């Protein structure tokens, strides 16, 4: 069975920027929902993997449909947005 993300669960967004983030500031993960509204979340860097992540709470990103997620950091004073990935949120029980 394929893994799905449901509107009532906690989950983790992990972004591999393929860049050294050790000196980055303003680590963010942005999420554009099915309604077209973009939300910004403060991300954390995993120093072992150089990936940034955000733990999505139960009450966040609950709109069913496709979400576009991407990282955005600042390195040496330059804003560096990443490529978006699409994550589908499903209604619990479907």
CATH assignment of the domain containing 85: 2.60.40.10
pTM of the complete model:
0.87
What does the block give as tokens for 49? 């993997």
Q: How far apart are CA 60 and CA 83, in angstroms?
A: 21
What does the block give as tokens for 5? 């993300």
Could you report the per-residue pLDDT of 9-39, keeping only the tens digit for each? Answer: 999 999 987 778 888 889 999 999 999 999 9
User: What number of residues does the chain have?
Assistant: 94
| Pairing mode of beta strands 5-6, 85-90 | parallel
Could you report the per-residue pLDDT of 39-51, keeping only the tens digit for each? Answer: 999 999 998 888 8
Q: What is the extent of the structural domain holding 36?
A: 5-90
Look at the chain and report how many structural domains it folds into: 1
pLDDT score for 1: 40
């Amino acid at each position: 069975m394929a893994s799905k993300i449901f509107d009532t669960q906690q989950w983790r967004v992990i972004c591999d920027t393929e860049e050294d983030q050790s000196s980055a500031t303003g680590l963010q993960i942005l999420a554009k929902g099915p309604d077209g509204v973009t939300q910004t979340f403060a991300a954390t860097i995993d120093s072992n993997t150089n990936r940034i992540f955000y733990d999505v709470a139960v009450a966040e990103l609950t709109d069913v449909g496709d979400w576009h997620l991407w990282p955005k950091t600042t390195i040496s004073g330059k804003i560096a947005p990443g490529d978006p990935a699409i994550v589908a949120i499903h209604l619990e029980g479907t």
